[in-house]
Copies of this chain bind each other. A is one copy, B any other.
Amino acid sequence: MDYREVFINYLKKNDLQLTKSREIILDAVFETHSHFEIEELYQMLRYKNKKVSRATVYRTIPYLVEAGLVRRLRYSDQNEQYEHIYGHPNHFHLHCLNCDRVIEQNSPELEKNIEKLAKRLNFKIQDYSVSISGHCSLCEEKETERIDINE
């Protein structure tokens, strides 16, 4: 099942239609292979002369999230970021507070652990996110160098 079908199923279930606008947004989301903000996505569509309004973009993204196609990310202090997840293996984010880099990692072990934890509580998972914040290896290296020099 491709993302289009998933979305159509979701829309049907919720008495919504697959309109031209929604299709444009859906495709844009799956053409974007990085984390994005809604405003960015909207500007990209304008640039490409695809006619959808900001309001519609803002209205549509939550549908994609609900449909399980897109995930809202929570690692950043700044604006909400999103990423498409359907068809991609789950992964976690490590966010460097120094250089703002985001490292993506997957860990089947961690996944299993989370699922086990949820099962024990009879909690039905829809989505989960692991975000780790701290300092990446590159920044740590620089930091220890700096200390070496100064001392």
Q: Which 3 A-B pairs have the closest CB atoms?
A: A74-B74, A122-B137, A126-B134
Whether A94 and B123, one on each chain, are in contact in the complex, defined by CB atoms closer than 8 angstroms, is yes
Interface residues in A112-135 (C-beta closer than 8 Å to B):
113-114, 117-118, 121-135
Whether A121 and B137, one on each chain, are in contact in the complex, defined by CB atoms closer than 8 angstroms, is yes
Interface stretch, picked from A4-12, A46-54, A82-90, A101-109, is A101-109
Q: Which residue of B lies closest to A113 (CB)?
A: B110
Interface residues on A, range: 20 to 34
Whether A118 and B94, one on each chain, are in contact in the complex, defined by CB atoms closer than 8 angstroms, is yes
**Chain B: minimal CB distance from A70 (Å):** 13
Whether A128 and B126, one on each chain, are in contact in the complex, defined by CB atoms closer than 8 angstroms, is no
Whether A140 and B122, one on each chain, are in contact in the complex, defined by CB atoms closer than 8 angstroms, is yes
Q: Given contacts A110-B110, A140-B122, is CB(A127)–CB(B117) below 8 Å?
A: no
Whether A103 and B123, one on each chain, are in contact in the complex, defined by CB atoms closer than 8 angstroms, is yes
